[in-house]
Homo-oligomer: A and B are copies of this chain.
């Protein structure tokens, strides 16, 4: 596979962020409107043609394979294409994950109509997606150390309503190459889904320990 790897300066990072963030946000609004609109067929047909024209203009220059970027100052990966936290990915709500001094992670975010499973509730798999990500992020020390999901279990205590939500995660313990993380999603009234996961340091990264 054709990988590209770039280290980007803080200035370049901020310039690209200011460019891509409003664009991805516009795409998110479009996706939301796309599942909710009730306009006439003619307007839908026109929207389809207009979206296709925009896509053609974007595809004039595009990457084919994976593209790794690392921030020159923080040395953290810049994961703008990620489907949970990616600044450039319209699939991502996106979650902005905060890291506390004691090693925990949390994020406050909002899920709208495009994330609905049962009527009025977040799709259970979307909860699993969010939890897999935030547990993985806390297990990997804010993405400083590569760790992949080995096993994850989600327990659904009750439905998770669409709207304002919070996710948090922490490392429970570490045993050799295994990091055990726990976390949950909550709404204003408490926990809706809890998760525990085992995250594994990949073989290629074990020597670096």
Contacts and interface: CB of A to CB of B under 8 A. Distances in A.
Given A123-B84, A129-B126, A118 B51 contact: no
Copies in the complex: 2
Contact of A23 (B19, B34, B65, B82): B34
A201 to B, nearest CB: 13
Given A33-B62, A133-B125, A91 B68 contact: no
Interface in A35-84: 35-39, 41, 43-48, 50-55, 57-68, 80-84
B23 A38 contact: no
A11 to B, nearest CB: 14
A151 B43 CA distance: 42
Interface in A97-142: 113-120, 123-126, 128-133, 136
